Amino acid sequence: MSESKHVVCPHCAGVNRVPVDRLGAGGKCGRCKQPLFEGRPLEVGGQAFQAQLTRSDLPLLVDFWAPWCGPCRMMAPAFAQAAAQLEPRVRLLKVNTEAEQSLGARFNIRSIPTMALFAGGRELDRVSGAMDARGIVAWVTQHL
């Protein structure tokens, strides 16, 4: 029996059980039939964030950003590129701290952009300031 992981659907937050060797195979959600991975970051609010944090077996890389923040907007394409490289090993999320102020407060985000890496529901590390795609991938890889 091959090992499997719980993957939380980015569309409906349904929990899917996916064999590890099938993670990259373009699987669809058993509930809403949409793709589990699309190679791009997922913009989430509090509820979806909580589902990804507590019910998914995948590490989460979260970009805390805001629309008014120039460096955040500059980093967005790099974060999207990093998603294409890191999925399906890692789930990439974006949290708009202006719209989701309670999440920003809960994680004590003092400056943006801040990227935080979570695994098993716990924060492993965080880094502030814009990074390029290569830097993001390298930073994540060194922790996993």
Q: Which two tokens stand for residue 138?
A: 């390298």
12 is catalytic: no
72 is catalytic: yes
Residue closer to Zn ion (CB basis): 28 or 73:
28
Q: Which of 9, 12, 29, 72 is catalytic?
A: 72
Residue closer to Zn ion (CB basis): 22 or 31:
31
Q: Which two tokens stand for residue 33?
A: 């039939």
Three-state secondary structure call for residue 8:
strand
Report the half-sphere exposure of 107 (CA within 13 A, side-chain side). Answer: 30
CB 43 within 8 A of CB 60: no
Question: Which residues, 6+ apart, have CB-to-CB distance to 50 below 8 Å?
Answer: none
Q: Which two tokens stand for residue 9?
A: 């659907």
The contact set with Zn ion (CB under 5 A) reads 9, 11-12, 14, 29, 31-32
Task: State in angstroms the smallest separation of the CB of 13 from Zn ion.
Answer: 7
Task: State in angstroms the smallest separation of the CB of 31 from Zn ion.
Answer: 5
Residue closer to Zn ion (CB basis): 16 or 128:
16
| Active-site residue list | 69, 72
